[in-house]
Amino acid sequence: MKRFSGWTLASPATLLVVIFLVLPVLATIATTFMTPAGPFATYTSFFGSGFRRTVLWRTIQISAITTIISLVIGFITAFVVSRAPGWLKSILIIAAVFPLLTGVVVRSFAWLIILGKNGILNSTLLSLGLISEPATMLYTQGAVIVAMVYLFVPLMILTLAGVLESIPDDLIQASASLGARPVATFMQVIFPLAVPGLIVGAVLVFTGSFTAYATPQLLGGEAQMVMGTLMYQQAMVTFDWVSASTIAAIMVVITIAVVLLMTRIARRLNPMAV
């Protein structure tokens, strides 16, 4: 009896990805090398522009700061979640999943209400007498970072809670009974075991913030232009598709570089990982 072969079954999905993702993305990257001015002209003009270098540097900064803050908050919270009793753990997981499944527009919009000139934070600070006139919080790097941290902390908590949960309590108790103080147990037992999870989390957050659009657009605007918003502007406002393709290519290269670098680090730090 004739049965479907593996390739027959996998081919529709394979074709969809190859035709509509691999080829178009490769074509986008290829066009950046095929300009009349020479193969690297678009890149020399990108890196030759002080404004674009600032945008790239700002994006790297925002993404790095967001990653570090999310790692610290996520790690501590995930540790508490992983050691919480069953019923409480479920509630905490639900409280982390809910924002994660709520769209990025809604979650960024929330910070627009909070950080606006007449927003909640300003009116609270004013009524407490801590400031005398509304502070400008929107369209600053801080606003973008706060909203990005808000975006990625749930992801970090969920990624790390799974990893931390798999660390047996026995190990921690053994460490304690052998005389390690809590801090030593944390640094020498829990932290090394969590490294693979931390690296996965860091990669997700860094690449996610590096290529974000909606959040920097809403909370940073023109003043805090990042790679994503610059790419959109080049593609849809000034219709300079070569320039937009160049930004796209740089984004892809940096994303892949970060993934490869972090996987290498993960392998070095933990031979069991990956």
Interface with another protein in residues 81-140 (CB under 8 A):
81, 83-85, 90, 92-107, 109-114, 116, 118, 120
Among the residue ranges 4-12, 36-44, 61-69, 126-134, the one whose residues contact another protein (CB under 8 A): 4-12
Q: DSSP per residue over 57-109, as a string?
A: HHHHHHHHHHHHHHHHHHHHHHHHHHTS-HHHHHHHHHHHHHHHHS-HHHHHH
State which residue, 23 or 261, has the beta carbon closest to another protein: 23
Whole-number minimum distance, CB 49 to another protein, in Å?
A: 20
Whole-number minimum distance, CB 99 to another protein, in Å?
A: 5
Whole-number minimum distance, CB 155 to another protein, in Å?
A: 10
State which residue, 135 or 252, has the beta carbon closest to another protein: 252
State which residue, 8 or 50, has the beta carbon closest to another protein: 8
CB-based contact 213:232 (threshold 8 Å): yes
Residues in binding contact with another protein, number by CB under 8 A: 91
Q: Which among 243, 253, 260, 223 is positioned nearest to 47, based on CA atoms? A: 243
Query: Binding pattern to another protein, positions 182-221, x when CB under 8 A?
Result: x------------------------x--xx-xx--xx---
Query: Does 23 engage in binding with another protein (CB under 8 A)?
Result: yes
- Residue from 161, 198, 199, 200 in contact with another protein (CB under 8 A): 161
Residues sharing a CB contact under 8 Å with residue 203, sequence separation 6 or more, in sequence order: 258, 259, 262
Residues sharing a CB contact under 8 Å with residue 226, sequence separation 6 or more, in sequence order: 55, 58, 59, 62, 144, 212, 216, 220
State which residue, 26 or 50, has the beta carbon closest to another protein: 26
State which residue, 183 or 272, has the beta carbon closest to another protein: 183
Six-digit token pair at 99? 């924002």
Cα-to-chain-centroid distance, residue 57: 16
Six-digit token pair at 45? 């003009």
Residues sharing a CB contact under 8 Å with residue 195, sequence separation 6 or more, in sequence order: 266, 269, 270, 273
Six-digit token pair at 218? 């809403």
Q: Footprint of another protein on residues 33-72 (CB under 8 A)?
A: none
State which residue, 13 or 50, has the beta carbon closest to another protein: 13
Among the residue ranges 19-27, 128-136, 137-145, 191-199, the one whose residues contact another protein (CB under 8 A): 19-27
At residue 267, the 3 state secondary structure works out as helix
Q: Footprint of another protein on residues 233-262 (CB under 8 A)?
A: 235-236, 241, 244-245, 248, 251-252, 255-256, 259
Distances in whole angstroms, Cα of residue 80 to Cα of each of 6, 62, 77, 171: 44, 27, 5, 16
State which residue, 37 or 106, has the beta carbon closest to another protein: 106
